[in-house]
Chain A
C-alpha cells in the first residue's frame, strides 16, 4: 500500500489547520505587543502580563474558576464513572433507557436551556446561588462527557479478568476497585481533564447559575470583551491556552504510555 500523502490531501490539511491555528497564533503574538492597539505591532513587551497580574478582580475570578473546576470535575468524574459502569456492566436494569437518555442529553443540549433549567431548579430547592450551584451545574453537564469516555474504555477492555476475579469469590465492588479501576484509570483521568477544561471554559451555564461574589474567569473576560479588545485579555488568554495545551499533551502522553504497556502485555515481544 502506498504511504505518504497525496498533494491534494496535504494542501487540504495545511489550509484547514492554518484556519484553526492562525487566529490563536495571532492572539498570542499580540499579547506581547507594546502598543494598546491589538492590530498594530509596536515592539515586544510583557507589560500586559504585569497589568493582568495586578488586576485583583481578574485574579479573584481566576481563583473562583479554579476552585469550581477542581471540585466539579472531581464530582463529575465520580458520577460519570458510576454511570459508565452502570451502562456497561449492569445489563438491562429497570429504567435503563431513561438513564441512558438523561446521561447523554447534555452533550448536545443548548447551554442556555441547561443553564436556565438548573437555575430555576436551584431556586425551587432554596439553594442560594454562588460557588456551590455552579459546581453542581458543571458536574451535571460534564458528567456526560466523562461517561462517554469511560464507557468506551469499559467496552473495549477484556472482561475475562473481571469474571476470573468474581469466579474466585471476589465481591463485585472489590473486583471493581482492584481489577477494573486500575485498567480504566487512563480513561478516568482523561475524563477528569475533559470535565475540568469544560468547567474552565463555560460561560453560559455559569452566568445563569452563579450568584453575587462568584464571578468566574470566562464571565469576567466576557464583560471586558464586550467593552472592547485589550491586550490584557490577550495575555490572560495566552496563559490559559498555555496551561490547557500543557495539560492535554501530558494527558496524551499518560494515555500513550499506558497503551504501550498494555500492548506489551498483550502481544508477544517483537524482535528489535
Chain B
C-alpha cells in the first residue's frame, strides 16, 4: 500500500467505502423514513389531537400548543383531558369497548372451534391434496371482504334463503330474525376471519411429527387424550398466532357490525367511525383510538413476538 499515491490512497481508503455505503444508507433510510413519517408520526398526531378541543373550522380541532412571542419566546402546552373524561363518564363508550372485547373473544373462540378441526384435517390429508386445500382456504380471503359480508345479507334476512330453507324443511313456521342481531355479526365475523385462524394452525400442525401420536397410541393413550396432551400443546404457536389475527382486527371491526348487526350492536370501531364521520368530533375520535390502541397493546405485542421468534427460528 506504500507505493500508492496520496490521491489513490484517499480514494481507496475513504471515498470508495463511502460511495459503496450509499446504497446501504439508502436501503436503510428510505423504508425507515417512510415508516417514521407515515406510521409512527401519525400516532403522535392522534395523541396530540386527542387532547385538543373540537371547533367549527377546518381542521375541526383547536391547537394544544401556544407560542407567545410578545412575552418572550415562551411556549405552552395545554392538555385538555375532557375527551378522555367523556369516555369515562358517558357509558356509551365503555359499553362499546366492553362489547367489542366480548364479541371479539367469543368469535375468536368460535373460529378456533371451527378452524382447528379444519386445519387438522388439512394437515392429515394426503400430501398431493394439501397444496390445493391451502389454495382453497386462501382464495376466499383474497375475495373482497365487503362482498363476502354482503353475500350474507341475502342469506340471513327475513325473507332470505336461510329462512326459506328452514321453512321448506318445516323446522320453523315464522321467519327467524337473524339479520341485524348479534348472531348475524358472529356469523359474519367467523366467516370472514376463518382463514386467518386456519392457516397459522395448519402451518404448525403440518410440521407435527405423526409418530408421536402413534407412540401415544402404542402406549395405550386414547385418541382424544392424545389430541389434548400432544397435538394441542404442539399447535400452541399456531393457536396464539391465529387467535391474535382474529381477535385484534375484530375488536376494531366496522363493516360487519354495520351491515349485519342491529342498531343496538355496539362496537367501538363503529363508534369511532360515527364520531368521526357523523358527529365530526375529531378529538373524541382520536381519544377513542388511543384507548383502543392501549387495550390492544398486549395482544399486538404477543403477536409481534410470535412473528419475530418464528423469523429468528428459521434463520
Contact = CB atoms under 8 A, between A and B. Distances in A.
A23 interface: yes
Contacts of B57: none
Given A5-B121, A20-B191, A112 B34 contact: no
A218 B144 contact: yes
A110 B30 contact: no
Contacts of B92: none
Interface in A54-112: 79, 82-83, 85-87, 90, 93, 95, 99-112
B161 interface: yes
Among A6, A113, A222, chain B packs the most CB atoms within 10 A around the CB of A113
Contact of B303 (A27, A108, A116, A173): A108
Interface string A1-31: 1011110111011001101110110110010
Contacts of B152: 23
A23 B252 contact: no
Contact of A124 (B45, B282, B296, B299): B45
Nearest to A193: B142
A151 interface: yes
Interface string B28-61: 1011101111111111011001000000000100
A265 to B, nearest CB: 20
Interface stretch (B3-11, B70-78, B228-236, B307-315): B307-315
A240 B147 contact: yes
A225 interface: yes
B153 A102 contact: no
A237 B144 contact: yes
A218 to B, nearest CB: 5
B272 A112 contact: yes
A95 B40 CA distance: 13
Size bracket of the A interface: 35 or more
A171 B146 contact: no
Contacts of A120: 42, 45-46, 49, 282, 286
Contact of B289 (A106, A107, A116): A116
Contacts of A90: 24, 27-28
A116 B34 contact: no
B255 interface: yes
Nearest to A147: B31
Interface stretch (A42-50, A178-186, A241-249): A241-249
B65 interface: no
Given A93-B28, A116-B286, A111 B252 contact: yes
A231 to B, nearest CB: 10
A171 B20 contact: yes
A134 interface: no
B30 A240 contact: no
A12 B252 contact: no
Nearest to A75: B34
A84 to B, nearest CB: 9
Interface in B131-159: 131, 133, 135-140, 142-148, 150-155, 157, 159
B136 A17 contact: yes
Interface string B275-315: 01100001001100100110010011001100110010011
Contacts of B137: 20
Given A9-B124, A121-B45, A82 B27 contact: yes
B135 to A, nearest CB: 6
A235 B258 CA distance: 22
Contact of A82 (B30, B45, B125): B30
Given A39-B161, A111-B252, A12 B121 contact: yes
Given A102-B39, A108-B244, A218-B144, 11 more contacts: A30-B154, A39-B159, A86-B32, A108-B248, A110-B252, A112-B273, A120-B45, A155-B314, A204-B273, A237-B147, A252-B135
8 closest A-B pairs by CB: A110-B252, A117-B42, A9-B121, A121-B42, A23-B151, A173-B23, A27-B151, A237-B147
